[in-house]
Structure 1
């Protein structure tokens, strides 16, 4: 067990309680060590609950954690009050203007994106795996923030730890999905090490979507979840090793 929760922060979100958390500082053991917050994992539920508490306290002391049943969609939920964990909505982004709520997004290679309009007092968090990213989950988040009074000219966003291009090999069918959506998307792919395979830059793609939506301040943390095993969980790394399960880290933002 590591004694201190590791928190990565973005300069773009200075003045807003937020953090992209890694795997350090929790109570889980074995392959899940140590700050596993994934309710869908096979980890001990009591340990997961303690880890989720520690994560929340590290970012928004005394705050109420609000998370989702993530399904790789473009759906965004506006949060007025916390819900029971067993009643988590099926969605992949949250927004709120209510103080005391810690919006939480779980990842294990997908890109967590945290948003804030400091002047309006509106925040958001999105889970941008490739399906949600190409489907427009970040666009949905921005629109939901605007409905609460935010302005996309003021919204700042930070993209947290996710799988990097060097670690993300994909096949032709994967590339074709993005090219079909927009031929210009081919710029996010470079030739892979195997024939008919490419390396996909998820972080750059998400940043480009945010810029195309009109955001002026976008920060990329540049942390590779696959390569930095001591710091992050990774679904793809666990899959390559044929491990039976994997942990999830959390990214949080609150008012």
Structure 2
């Protein structure tokens, strides 16, 4: 098993394949060392291109990944109809051999599939996307009942490190008063937010009960993960899903 990435531990159908990369075993130099997949990070473009080729070849992907220009919004695109690098924060497909991917370095990557193994999706969920409804928009695009969806929560900043202001907490509580349990009081006017718990609440409210993953912290695990909050200038990990 290649230690350059994480194989999601979830009961996805055999036709569904997925990986989440770490920062290990790539070709970028510090501060992007080493498997940086972010083309807009300031890294050497040749090194990033080499990293992308390595990912496709070493992970056995069926082709190039459909990546997005992520803007912390809620737009969802179909990979099979999308223009190159569309501006969106989630991507889905029902076509085989078409990898869908998103990039993160603290935000939460969420993978989706249906229980029949016919549709997959990947969403980029920072706090703005979560509050705005990117997960709900992705589920709507999949057009599968929530009870038939399986979700996996990938590496994100953990609840002991993700400090936010009153306005972030208010954005979630305005829509879900029960979300208060996902926030822990920090210094005055600041809170520690649990992205995993917030995402789980949003998914469950949309009928999704089969939720797996979580428990990572990109901020504290310096060896395996890039973290924008920790380092500022840094690379990006990729989370990819496809149908065989």
TM-score, with length taken from structure 1 = 0.89
Aligned-residue offset at 1:80: 1.4
Structure with the higher fraction of residues in helix conformation: 1
**1:242 alignment partner in structure 2:** none
Alignment of structure 1 residues 8-157 onto 2, 5 Å? 8-13=7-12, 15=14, 16-80=16-80, 83=83, 87-119=84-116, 121-146=118-143, 150-157=144-151
Does the 8 A contact of 1:56 with 1:102 survive in 2? Answer: no
Does structure 2 conserve the Cα–Cα contact (< 8 Å) formed by 1:5 and 1:54?
no
**Tell me, which stretches of 5 or more residues in structure 1 are unaligned?**
240-244
Report deviation, 1:4: 5.4
Task: Answer yes or no: is 1:186 the counterpart of 2:180.
Answer: yes
Counterpart of 2:170 in structure 1 is 176
- Alignment check: 8 A CA contact 2:153 2:213 kept: yes
Moved more, 70-79 or 183-192: 183-192
Q: Secondary structure at the match of 1:17?
A: strand
Tell me if 1:254 matches 2:237. Answer: no
Q: Quick check: 2:196–2:214 contact (8 Å CA) kept in 1?
A: no
**Which of 162, 166, 172 does residue 160 from structure 2 map onto?**
166
- Alignment of 1:5 with 2:4, yes or no, is yes
Give me the whole-angstrom Cα distance separating, in 2, the residues matched to 1:165 and 1:63: 35
Report the CA distance between 1:171 and its aligned residue.
Answer: 1.9
Secondary structure of 1:32's counterpart equals coil
> Which stretch shifts more, 196-205 or 126-135?
196-205
Post-superposition offset of 1:50: 1.6
Measured after TM superposition, the shift of residue 91 of structure 1 is 0.6
How far residue 203 of structure 1 moved from its aligned partner, in angstroms, is 1.0
Deviation at 1:228, TM superposition (A): 0.2
**Aligned pairs, number:** 241
Q: By how many angstroms is 1:58 displaced?
A: 4.2
Q: 1:59 to 1:116 in 2, by over 3 A?
A: farther
**Which aligned segments of 4 or more residues in structure 1 are displaced greater than 4 angstroms?**
none
Inter-partner Cα distance in structure 2 for 1:118 and 1:81 = 23
- Structure 1 position 119, deviation (Å): 1.2
